[in-house]
Structure 1
Amino acid sequence: MSGRIETVVLDSEGMSAWISRDRGVLALIKAFHAMAAGLVIGANTIVEISHAKANTARLNWVLSQVRIEPVTEHSARASAALLKQAGLHGHKYAIDATVAEMALRQPGPVAMLTSDVDDMARLCDARVRLIAV
């Protein structure tokens, strides 16, 4: 991992990979800890990663390791503006937009662990370093 990173945002796939102990993601998390980077998720990511087969104890432990940002009316309106600017529709990209909006207001430099590199690139421009999971 080259370059300084202040904040790391995890989308649902980034969180799911951490919860399932994906070796690559675990190595990245270790590197981010070594950099003293803050780990952040949006509150609605909890909804995406919670399901019947989720290991509740592991999920709760991982959640205890991150800062959870709320989705407010202000952030929802800013997310809608990002969607409009990117030419995307909220029906399909609503949660991606809220994750992108939250990433854009974090202390930088910011990186994001995501499986949606193409969509996040449209929403975040080059202001967030995207790391594929």
Structure 2
Amino acid sequence: MPRSRFSASLTSPKVDVVIDTGNPFLNLTVDGFLKIGGVAASKAAAEDAYYIVKRGNISRHNFEHTLKKMCKEGAYWGAVAGVYVGMEFVAERIRGTTDWKNAMIGGALTGAMVSAASSNNRDKIVMDAITGGAVATAAQFLNYLT
């Protein structure tokens, strides 16, 4: 029986924004803020566009609501990403090595800081630190696979 093979590769476009503040810590933090903030704003726009089209109601109010949601989501997730990238960079500089442990430390510190900013519940802060570390470590391991 004849056999056939299919081989393909998919590459995503790489978008790089370079802002040189003269400080590598600030460069990475701003880069993380802009990239993830842009993704979050795009996600908010896509969600609202779906609901507007589904309802068939396009108005100035809907547009303003979408714009506010885009700014809010972009700023929030951009800030979280900026803090994470900064914490991972600091962990790397202190430890003097580049490995998955920096991602875990950065994620845990970010989870704790974001949680502490919105809650005084110590158990929640610890749980969010654990979650942040786990998610960052998992993401780092997934990056090693690709």
Same fold (TM over 0.5): no
* TM bin (shorter chain): under 0.3
Give the TM-score taking structure 2 as reference length. 0.25
Q: Greater helix percent: which structure?
A: 2
| Higher Cα radius of gyration | 2
Give the TM-score taking structure 1 as reference length. 0.27
Q: Which has the higher contact order (CA 8 A, sep 6+)?
A: 1
